[in-house]
Amino acid sequence: MRHAVFALLTLAWPLTVWLSNGRIEPRWLALGLVVLGALRLSSARVERVWLVVGVLALGLAGTAAALNVGWPLKLYPVVVNASLLVLFGATLVRGPSMVERLARLREPELPPHAVAYTRRVTWVWCGFFVLNGAAAAVLALFASERTWAVYTGGVAYGLMGVLFAVEWVVRQVVRRRHAAVTP
């Protein structure tokens, strides 16, 4: 339940920042980021990267509160993308890849070609996190709150959905091709 609440709060963060613009001082809105940071810290036992996310969220909130400015609050999606990049990227170094780990939840005995495929998909996700995080950073620093909120609170999630869907289609093609070659 706690993870579901956290996910909803994270998804709603861009909309919250945008709707509060000009209505709530950034120092008060920073309290919302404190809540997100605290929730991340509470989940840090699972992955150390979430400890870093929690600390960075608290740092962004502290900066926004101390300076009473909103731009640090808009950097939270950048922190999340960077953290996911580290999380996925680290599995490419120490293995098994993140996508392989997820695939083994459904299919514990993966053939070697599937392991290689999941590694490539993990690389694709790392690329996505780089591009998505860079877009979020540029928009946070140079675009209007509305443009930033539309991208980070909608477009980015749509792009993730498209990537999931395209990968699923490619996976089906790869499976069929391999099944046709394997006796």
Say if CB 58 and CB 34 are below 8 A apart: yes
Structure tokens at 6: 């956290």
Is the model's pLDDT at 174 over the cut of 70? yes
* Cβ count within 10 A of residue 10: 17
Q: What share of the chain is helix, strand, coil (3-state, %, to 5)?
A: 85, 0, 15
Structure tokens at 72: 């640090």
Report residue 96 CA to chain centroid gap: 20
- CA-to-CA distance for 115 and 5, rounded, in angstroms? 33
Domain that residue 49 falls in: 2-181
Counted domains in the chain: 1
pTM beyond 0.85, yes or no: no
- Identify the top-confidence range among 3-17, 59-73, 139-153: 139-153
Q: What is the pLDDT of residues 48-64, one digit of tens each?
A: 777 777 788 888 888 98
Q: What is the pLDDT of residues 128-161, one digit of tens each?
A: 999 999 999 999 999 998 899 999 989 999 999 9
Q: What average pLDDT is seen over the chain?
A: 85
